[in-house]
Structure 1
């Protein structure tokens, strides 16, 4: 009885390997990017322009907007978003005529760009400069731009449509909470 059970187990294991191994070979990526599915690691790299990118393409390379990875990748886009982040009010009482010292001020802060259908996972993270300005190359499409961190000032999302071969200019107005 033990001999029959051993033979059946060996045959079952052989059949399992016979059918399973070819399927695993089909799913495994071939060296040199042979067109099979490729799963890249979830690492990120900050580009010289301040944006963040993940690994992409058949060789899982980092490709910065406007940069060249040396291994192909995507061409830089001739479209994107240019913006300024401003915060105000900066004085507790607004006067008529307005006091120039109380005008909205530029804000250096985190800027995040999302797809409008997913306001949780940012596709680009960058920092606005001391003048509050930022710029990012993006393909044409619809985006939601958020600014600020988890503390005040409060910066609402700004919906943006990026057209082909053009940069869309926006101003993100953040509420300082001063009243």
Structure 2
């Protein structure tokens, strides 16, 4: 068949492109992250197609997933595989048992008025949980927001907030921890402001 003029070369280019797509080498493996391997479609020249993310890098030629040269017997469909990554969670496998709450200190200004409230402020402090014999069963520090969480086995505990001076003065509440439950216990300390 003969094609003359401008349409001829353009049509031949399209036919050549179609032929290339049918014989496009299979995808090359690329490393996405330390725990994930994915595939990227490569152009006939060996460079990634524009849809690829620039942060991906080819696997070394000695790796099991990327031999460095395409094999015509490999399937030409995209695949992805994942490997398990190590767990960074410190959450216990079973139900959590213990205490949680907020430590706060107030009043925060003298002579609180309706039009100028002085809400208690969160208190970051060391908190010890002592069992019935007075031994420290657990210890934690409340965050800058006053929140604390303390994992403890079932039992009755007295909480003691470590003060850095005479104020704030914190009560020593007692709480009973029940198996499989987290008991809420807020601690309100006195700043001494009157």
- TM-score normalised by the chain length of structure 1: 0.53
Shift of 1:125: 2.0
Aligned-residue CA RMSD (Å): 2.0
Query: Is 1:111 aligned to 2:127, yes or no?
Result: yes
SS at match of 2:105: strand
TM-score, scaled relative to structure 2: 0.49
Where do 4+ consecutive residues of structure 1 move more than 3 Å?
Answer: none
* Structure 2, gaps ≥5 residues long: 1-89
Match of 1:93 in 2: 111
Report which structure shows greater RCO (CA 8 Å, sep ≥6). 1
Q: Is the 8 A contact 2:168 2:192 kept in 1?
A: yes
* Equivalent of 2:179 in 146, 154, 164: 164
Give ranges in structure 1 of 5+ residues lacking alignment: 1-64, 68-74
Say which SS state the counterpart of residue 140 (structure 2) adopts: strand
Alignment of 1:116-155 (within 5 A): 116-118=132-134, 121-151=135-165, 152-155=167-170
Aligned-pair CA distance for 1:124: 1.7
- Between Structure 1 and Structure 2, the one with more helix by share is 1
